[in-house]
Amino acid sequence: MNRLLAITSKEDIPPQYRETPIGLLLEYHNLKRPFATYTKAELLIGMCMDNRKHLHIPDNFAFIIRAGGANLRYSEFKVSYAIAVGGVRCIALIGHNQCGMVNLIARKGQFVEGLVKAAGWQPQQAEEHFYHFAPMFEIGNEIDFVLSEVKRLRLRYPKILVTPLLYRLEDGCLSLIEEDTRSSGQDAR
């Protein structure tokens, strides 16, 4: 986790993000900046579906797509819609520590048993379902996955500012994930 930049004051926000929707997100959530009024979304937030996370942001400030592991690969039409129709020019991709999409194979038994007991599936059907979909949704390491997904989104949407963030469950704060700008393919605007 040494690649995280904690944001505990406005001065901690790198200059390239200040006065952008990314900087505002960090100020609203971490620094409890008073809410402004918005009539349209300023950014798109992609984050995990995990129920332990809640963002402190004003109404109408952001489109939010929740998907396991903050994996937007299967939500690309929604991303395109937020850009093309919604007019957003920034994406905050927020992973979190202790993500359930890490090491999915370790949860196979729980997954199968849960579908059998709660949904009435047959064990073989549940196991086949797991093996079919788990490889698509396994993210490996949270930070590395967010960085790889940010890189993919930057290649797909080269004019959009895409920023990697991590939500720390222990304190509920957002941190910027530091990246090697020589290989990121995009300078922060």
- CATH number for position 69: 3.40.1050.10
| pLDDT tens track for 161-173 | 999 999 999 999 9
132 shares its domain with 47 = no
Q: Is residue 189 part of a domain?
A: no
44 shares its domain with 71 = yes
84 shares its domain with 157 = yes
For residues 66 and 46, what is the distance between their CA atoms, to the nearest angstrom? 6
The angle at the Cα of 72, spanning 155 to 91, to the nearest 5 degrees, equals: 60
pLDDT value for 147: 97
pLDDT value for 181: 58
Mean pLDDT, residues 5-30: 97
pLDDT value for 180: 76
Q: Is residue 132 part of a domain?
A: yes
Q: Is residue 182 part of a domain?
A: no
Mean pLDDT, residues 99-104: 92
Q: Is the dihedral of CA 150, 153, 157, 158 positive or negative?
A: positive
Mean pLDDT, residues 129-149: 94
133 shares its domain with 144 = no
* Percent with pLDDT over 90 in the chain: 91
Q: Is residue 185 part of a domain?
A: no
46 shares its domain with 108 = no
For residue 124, what are the domain limits? 103-138
Mean pLDDT, residues 144-169: 97
Question: Which residue spans within 29-182 are E strands per DSSP?
Answer: 43-47, 62-66, 90-96, 161-168, 173-177
Q: Is residue 186 part of a domain?
A: no
Q: Is residue 123 part of a domain?
A: yes
Q: Taking 50 as the threshold, does the pLDDT of residue 88 lie above it?
A: yes
Mean pLDDT, residues 35-45: 97
Tally of structural domains, the chain: 2
Give the alpha-carbon dihedral of 52, 176, 1, 101, to 10 degrees.
Answer: 40
Q: How confident is the model at residue 183 (pLDDT cuts 50, 70, 90)?
A: very low
23 shares its domain with 72 = yes
144 shares its domain with 112 = no
In one letter, which amino acid is 41? A
Separation in Å, CA 47 to CA 53, 58, 131, 161: 9, 17, 24, 16
Mean pLDDT, residues 60-79: 96
28 shares its domain with 81 = yes
63 shares its domain with 131 = no
38 shares its domain with 72 = yes
Q: Is the dihedral of CA 122, 124, 130, 133 positive or negative?
A: negative
47 shares its domain with 119 = no
Q: Taking 50 as the threshold, does the pLDDT of residue 185 lie above it?
A: no
Q: Taking 50 as the threshold, does the pLDDT of residue 26 lie above it?
A: yes
